[in-house]
């Protein structure tokens, strides 16, 4: 393979949507559809790389940004020069007068696809390129699941997840403090200390809510409280950290690039970092964020998204860093992007852990017929 064989000759984004028949209700509303934005990159030598950009709840707009501006910036560049490509997009779109957050979402899938190509070019899985090893990574049951439901129904759902092998789960908060506590206590009582419990408020809490649930979180030995507030509400995070005591705060799925994570870390309020490889800037930027976190002894527990591409990206990163924590497995009952568009990248072993694929690149194929059969459905994903 010559150097020019790695030049990018095709770069495009495909937005896709599927309706949800029985949507889970969370702090951000009831899910009515699932969206994704898939990135395809083809090199002059015929290598095809795939990635996932987060849809930003406006998938058509993210795909359009890729298919116009970012495509024109990157066509002809060598796919293996990931840092050079990242810097170009940063300077042209993120640093000054650009689309900022939208560009971070759009470029994240491009970066994943570039790493997929790099791995294929040398015949290595991404984790080997990153200096990692094929080690087991503890997983918890997350995704769009375990929502606002009666405690006995919730306990039954957790039972089913336990039977699948999960040793930790994430409950959804953000209903009312009283109902949140009732559900949390019911799950802890049903499973005792054999089950690890995380909690996610999906930005729906106020400081008053945190005060009201703080003692229950401690009594139920919750591993973390995730995103009680909007990502820019740094003052509330600092206040909440003092209120929670031994229960750490987790955040980062709605922070973008290492620059925003630098502020998050320096404020010393958040104890668990949760960047998303489809949002924060791709695999390249997750490795940089992980290094920042490592210097502060903070674990990295990435947020994951719709398809096996982002799941695989997260697992490859977790296998390659010294401060890797939990992998968030998508345990939604209904996710065609996970099960049909791509294959699952998060199969559990007998210890409730996942491991990266040994196939070259990300190790995930994409069904392009599925994308053609499921065009984007514009409109809100939660109501």
Task: For each of the domains in the chain, give its residue range(s) and CATH number, in order of start.
Answer: 3-124+368-373 (3.30.390.10), 128-354 (3.20.20.120)
How far apart CA 7 and CA 44 sit, in angstroms, is 6
Q: Which residues pair with 31 in a beta bridge?
A: 382
| Residue 209 structure tokens | 């809510």
Sign of CA dihedral 366, 370, 376, 377: negative
Q: What is the pLDDT of residue 50?
A: 98
Determine how β-strand 137-142 pairs with β-strand 353-354: antiparallel
Q: What is the pLDDT of residue 358?
A: 96
**Low-confidence residues of the chain: pLDDT under 50:** none
Q: What is the pLDDT of residue 69?
A: 96
Give the length of the chain. 383
156-166: pLDDT as tens digits: 999 999 999 99
Q: What is the pLDDT of residue 354?
A: 97
Q: What is the pLDDT of residue 236?
A: 98
Q: What is the pLDDT of residue 333?
A: 85
Contact 87, 114 (CB under 8 A): no
- Residue 159's nearest CA partner among 172, 146, 147 is 146
Average pLDDT value for the chain: 95
pTM of the model: 0.95
């Amino acid at each position: 393979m010559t150097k020019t064989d790695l030049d990018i000759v095709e770069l495009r984004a495909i937005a896709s949507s599927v309706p949800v028949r029985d949507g889970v209700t969370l702090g951000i509303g009831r899910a009515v559809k699932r969206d994704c934005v898939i990135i395809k990159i083809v090199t002059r030598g015929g290598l095809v790389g795939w990635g996932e950009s987060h849809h930003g709840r406006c998938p058509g707009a993210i795909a359009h940004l890729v298919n116009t501006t970012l495509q024109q910036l990157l066509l002809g560049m060598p796919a293996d020069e990931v840092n050079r490509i990242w810097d170009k997009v940063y300077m042209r779109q993120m640093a000054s007068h650009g689309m900022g957050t939208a560009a971070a979402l759009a470029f994240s899938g491009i970066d994943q696809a570039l790493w997929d190509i790099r791995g294929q070019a040398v015949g290595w899985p991404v984790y080997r390129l990153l200096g990692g090893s094929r080690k087991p990574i503890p997983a918890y049951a997350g995704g769009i699941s375990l929502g606002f439901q009666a405690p006995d129904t919730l306990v039954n759902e957790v039972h089913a997840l336990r039977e699948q092998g999960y040793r930790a789960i994430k409950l959804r908060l953000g209903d009312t403090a009283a109902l949140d506590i009732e559900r949390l206590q019911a799950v802890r009582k049903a499973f005792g200390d054999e089950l690890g419990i995380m909690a996610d408020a999906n930005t729906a809490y106020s400081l008053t809510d945190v005060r009201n649930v703080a003692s229950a979180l401690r009594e139920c030995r919750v591993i973390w409280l995730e995103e009680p507030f909007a990502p820019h509400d740094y003052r509330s995070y600092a206040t909440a950290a003092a209120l929670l005591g031994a229960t750490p705060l987790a955040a980062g799925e709605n922070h973008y690039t290492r620059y925003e994570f630098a502020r998050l870390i320096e404020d010393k309020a958040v104890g668990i970092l949760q960047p998303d490889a489809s949002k924060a800037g791709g695999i390249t930027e997750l490795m940089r964020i992980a290094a920042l976190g490592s210097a502060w002894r903070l674990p990295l527990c990435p947020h994951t998204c719709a398809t096996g591409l982002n799941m695989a990206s997260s697992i490859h990163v977790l296998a390659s860093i010294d401060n890797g924590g939990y992998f968030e497995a998508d345990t939604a009952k209904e996710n065609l992007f996970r099960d049909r568009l791509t294959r699952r990248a998060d199969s559990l072993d007998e210890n409730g852990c996942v491991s990266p694929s040994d196939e070259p690149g990300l190790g995930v194929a994409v069904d392009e017929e599925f994308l053609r059969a499921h065009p984007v459905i514009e409109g809100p994903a939660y109501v």
